[in-house]
């Protein structure tokens, strides 16, 4: 029998007969490894312990200590175990597919009766029984005809359709978890007992069309989460509880910030409180950009398709654009325009007006640009994922030699802004060329090398994010982690050699000849709408004082205090504080409770004693203790706190 050589992570190699399985390799290394092994990586591919290895390969054996592999297998096996549990309880239910997703899995079922919360409890109980049985997981490869006949005989039409969709004559991988069988690529654990029985939970049920086609059968999708141990599950469930409390849609209602309605899908109706947050943040960004050497411009909302065709957006991005047809007077055909999905081509058109010299570079051009992009209705999510939004967008026109210095300066600028907004650290991802792109490989080589070198020169080693660049150039993505551990991709910085070429932008170099500028696309917040949603959830509605839409409520305890209440409000306003009076004929506890729900940071209560002593009783949001402070002291303190970080 032919021999093959397997090389292990430590560099050592061993000879085995061709067709050896990772399980046999693990047993050959040690008995303890054979017991602990859950899967292998063979030449970079995740491998089932039962799959044969037929040629020389690099091999690593995994145990439950290897988080990525362990979690993938636990979640994948949970999907199968859940489907088995459902069919053991309700044998007539048809099964479809059950992939691993972030933090867990889902499985789609065809069942006439809707699953109830009580059903989920019964399924969980049955899953634990299956796990405790420690049933073996086995696998075989079958030819297509045999697999189709098997599923036809077992009245599983969805599996038949899945097999028919597999291209060519590839062998069909079949798995058994005990007696229960499923069609699956694998890999899987070696027995059901390897799934931790106390580290998973079924979460909810949702509707899902078969193959995502609204003309097909509506199925029931059960979602679950799974981890390596019950402590990790407990942490995750706590995070979900926190996320529900912080949900920007819920807090947006309670704080009267905004609303959305079906007549304007993906568009935001900003209320006075929410618009105050928006404009305060915009004013702050405008001052920071002015100080950073940016010039601010404004460009049209509706632009003729000719510009989008010239820029490449019509070809690469049209499905995300809102098209506007206009019957121009005396025109033989309708004029076709588009609402701008981004500002880049319009900024190039401004750059092209008048002759530019190398002495004018770098030219940093900023716009709070209102953009519109089509997003499927199912992808819309509060103000986080919308169709109409405002970017804190800018384009830096520079020479190739200036890419490094401009990138370093931008990263420093972004770091300062994020720190002002409460985010001390961030991660950076480097996204290189996508499959669909404009420009030659030589141009992409230059752009990627320049951006990567500039990032490293700024002291940052980015995480690689292959194939996720924009169609015109590579990009950096700046990822924030919020108070409960969730990541948010916000800022971007992209190097573009393509658009200036396509739109014929030039500057006069030191040699007197025309040269193409490099275009750096950059945003810090991404979109104001999404970033405000992130801030709401990061702070659980308790905005930093300077950004809070309602900063202080001065509330009377007795009606005789009303004149002093209005005097306090007037002094606070004069100091630049957003202050309002509450002199309603209500008990003070009622007023405090109502304004606390509205997330007002400071409530000043005034009764007879405060009037006589010209003091206020201070209640701060989230604190049980109150304090008594003189009027002059509180005006001084809150006047300073109300200043934006760049003005303090």
Please work out, in degrees rounded to the nearest 5, the angle formed at the alpha carbon of residue 480 by the alpha carbons of 347 and 438. 40
Average per-residue pLDDT for the chain: 93
What is the distance between the alpha carbons of residues 360 and 510, in angstroms, rounded to a whole number?
11
Instruction: Answer whether 57's CB lies under 8 Å from 22's CB.
Output: no
Name the residue ranges covered by the structural domains of the chain.
3-63, 68-237, 259-539, 545-642
Asked if the model's pLDDT at residue 1 lies above 70, the reply is no
Residue 470 has pLDDT above 90, yes or no: no
Mean pLDDT of the 47-70 span: 95
pLDDT at site 312: 87
Q: What pLDDT score was predicted for residue 379?
A: 87
Alpha-carbon distance values, 90 to 158, 247, 526 (Å): 17, 36, 48
User: Quick one: tokens of 120?
Assistant: 């989920």
Enter the DSSP assignment of 9. Answer: T
Q: Are 70 and 64 in contact (CB under 8 A)?
A: yes
Whether residue 181 is predicted with pLDDT greater than 70 in this model: the reply is yes
pLDDT at 327 over 80: no
Distances (CA, A) of 439 to 313, 318, 334: 13, 18, 31
Q: Which residues contact 406 (CB under 8 A, 6 or more apart)?
A: 362, 396, 398, 454, 520
Topology annotation, domain 259-539: BirA Bifunctional Protein; domain 2 (3.30.930)
Multiple choice CATH, 68-237, 1.10.3720.10, 3.40.50.2300, 3.30.980.10, 3.90.76.10: 3.30.980.10
CA distance 635 to 574: 9
Nearest-10 Cα torsion for 567, 572, 577, 579: -20
pLDDT tens digits for 531-540? 999 999 999 9
Whole-number pLDDT of residue 297: 97
Give the C-alpha separation, 599 to 232, whole Å. Answer: 31
More confident residue, 140 or 165: 140
pLDDT digits (tens, 9 = 90+) for 218-227: 999 999 999 9
Question: What span, in angstroms and rounded, lies between the C-alpha atoms of 182 and 97?
Answer: 9
Three-state SS string over 462-492 comes to: CEEECCCCECCECEEEEEEECCCCCEEEEEE
Q: Which are the catalytic amino acids?
A: 344, 373, 391, 393, 395, 475, 521
Distance CA(23)–CA(278), nearest Å, equals 59
- Residue 316 banded pLDDT, cuts 50, 70, 90: confident
**Position 123 pLDDT exceeds 80:** yes
pLDDT tens-digit readout, 623-646: 989 999 999 999 999 999 999 999
Answer whether residue 168 shows pLDDT above 80.
no
% of the chain surpassing 90 pLDDT:
81
Assign 3-state DSSP to the chain and report helix, strand, coil percentages, each to 5. Answer: 40, 30, 35
CA distance 101 to 200: 14
* Mean pLDDT, rounded, for 320-340: 83
3-state secondary structure of 258: strand
- List alpha helices for 373-440, DSSP H: 403-420
Say how many C-beta atoms besides its own lie within 10 A of residue 153's C-beta: 8
First to last CA, the chain: 79
pLDDT in tens, 68-115: 999 999 999 999 999 999 999 999 999 999 999 999 999 999 999 999
Structure confidence at residue 457 as a pLDDT band (50, 70, 90)? confident
- The answer to whether residue 330 scores a pLDDT higher than 70 is no
Averaged pLDDT for residues 197-214? 92
- Using the predicted structure, report yes or no on whether residue 149 has a pLDDT greater than 90: yes
Q: Is the domain 545-642 a CATH 3.40.50.300 member?
A: no
pLDDT in tens, 36-49: 999 999 999 999 99
Annotated binding site for Zn(2+): 344, 395, 521
Q: What is the pLDDT of residue 22?
A: 95
Q: How far is residue 27 from each of residues 34, 127, 371, 561, measured CA to CA in Å? A: 5, 29, 60, 83
Calculate Rg over the CA atoms of the chain.
31
- Whether the pLDDT of residue 508 is over 80: the answer is yes
How far is the C-alpha of 398 from the C-alpha of 510, rounded, in Å?
14
The answer regarding whether domain 3-63 maps to CATH 3.30.470.20 reads: no
Q: CA-to-CA distance for 134 and 192, rounded, in angstroms?
A: 5
- Give the model confidence (pLDDT) of 551-597 as tens digits: 999 999 999 999 999 999 999 999 999 999 999 999 999 999 999 99
Cβ-contact 579, 554 below 8 angstroms: yes
Q: What's the average model confidence in pLDDT over 456-474? A: 87
């Amino acid at each position: 029998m032919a021999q093959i050589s397997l090389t292990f992570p430590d560099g050592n190699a061993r000879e085995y007969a061709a067709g050896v399985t990772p399980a046999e390799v693990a047993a050959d290394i040690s008995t303890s490894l054979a017991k602990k092994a859950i899967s292998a990586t063979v030449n970079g591919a995740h491998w089932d312990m039962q799959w044969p290895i037929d040629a020389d390969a690099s091999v690593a054996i995994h145990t439950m200590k290897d988080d990525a592999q362990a979690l993938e297998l636990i979640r994948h096996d949970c999907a199968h175990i859940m489907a088995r549990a459902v069919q053991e309880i309700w044998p007539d239910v048809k099964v479809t597919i059950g992939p691993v997703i972030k933090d867990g899995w889902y499985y789609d079922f065809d069942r006439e009766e809707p699953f109830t919360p009580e059903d989920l409890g019964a399924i969980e109980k049955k899953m634990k029984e299956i796990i405790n049985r420690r049933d073996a997981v086995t696998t075989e490869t079958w030819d297509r005809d045999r697999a189709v006949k098997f599923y036809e005989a077992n009245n599983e039409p969805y599996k038949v359709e899945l097999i028919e969709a597999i291209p060519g004559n590839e062998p069909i991988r079949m798995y058994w978890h005990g007696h229960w069988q499923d069609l699956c690529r694998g890999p899987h654990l070696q027995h059901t007992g390897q799934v931790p029985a106390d580290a998973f939970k079924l979460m909810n049920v949702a509707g899902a069309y078969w193959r995502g086609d609204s003309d097909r059968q509506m199925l029931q999708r059960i979602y679950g989460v799974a981890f390596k141990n019950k402590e990790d599950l407990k942490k995750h469930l706590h995070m979900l509880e926190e996320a529900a409390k912080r949900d920007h849609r819920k807090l947006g209602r309670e704080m009267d910030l905004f609303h959305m309605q079906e007549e304007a899908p993906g568009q935001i109706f900003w209320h006075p409180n929410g618009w105050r947050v928006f404009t305060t943040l915009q004013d702050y960004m405008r001052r920071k950009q002015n100080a950073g050497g940016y010039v601010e411009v404004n460009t049209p909302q509706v632009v003729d398709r000719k510009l989008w065709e010239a820029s490449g957006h019509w070809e690469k991005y049209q499905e995300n654009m809102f098209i506007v047809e206009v019957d121009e007077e005396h025109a033989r055909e309708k004029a076709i325009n588009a609402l701008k999905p981004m500002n880049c081509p319009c900024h190039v058109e401004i750059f092209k007006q008048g002759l530019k010299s190398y002495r004018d570079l770098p030219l940093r051009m900023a716009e709070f640009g209102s953009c519109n992009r089509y997003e499927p209705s199912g992808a819309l999510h509060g103000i986080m994922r919308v169709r109409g939004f405002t970017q804190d967008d800018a384009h830096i026109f520079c020479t190739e030699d200036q890419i490094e210095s401009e990138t370093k300066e931008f990263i420093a600028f972004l770091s300062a802004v994020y720190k002002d907004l409460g985010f001390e650290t961030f991660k950076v991802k480097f996204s290189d060329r996508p499959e669909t792109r404009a420009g030659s490989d030589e141009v992409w080589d230059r752009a990627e090398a320049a951006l990567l070198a500039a990032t490293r020169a700024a002291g940052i080693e980015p995480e690689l994010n292959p194939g996720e660049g924009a169609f015109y150039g590579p990009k950096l993505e700046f990822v924030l982690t919020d108070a409960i551990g969730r990541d948010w991709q916000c800022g971007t910085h992209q190097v573009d050699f393509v658009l200036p070429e396509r739109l014929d932008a030039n500057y006069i170099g030191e040699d007197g000849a025309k040269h193409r500028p490099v275009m750096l696309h950059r945003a810090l917040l991404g979109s104001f709408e999404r970033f405000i949603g992130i801030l709401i959830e990061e702070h659980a509605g308790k905005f930093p004082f300077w950004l809070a839409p309602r900063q202080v409520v001065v509330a009377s305890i007795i009606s005789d205090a009303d004149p002093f209440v209005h005097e306090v409000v007037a002094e606070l306003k004069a100091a630049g504080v957003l202050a309002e009076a509450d002199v309603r004929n209500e008990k003070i506890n009622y007023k405090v409770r109502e304004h606390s729900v509205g997330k007002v940071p400071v409530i000043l209560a005034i009764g007879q004693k405060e009037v006589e002593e010209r003091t206020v009783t201070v209640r701060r949001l989230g604190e049980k203790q109150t304090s008594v402070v003189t009027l002059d002291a509180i005006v001084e303190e809150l006047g300073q706190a109300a200043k934006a970080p760049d003005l303090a």
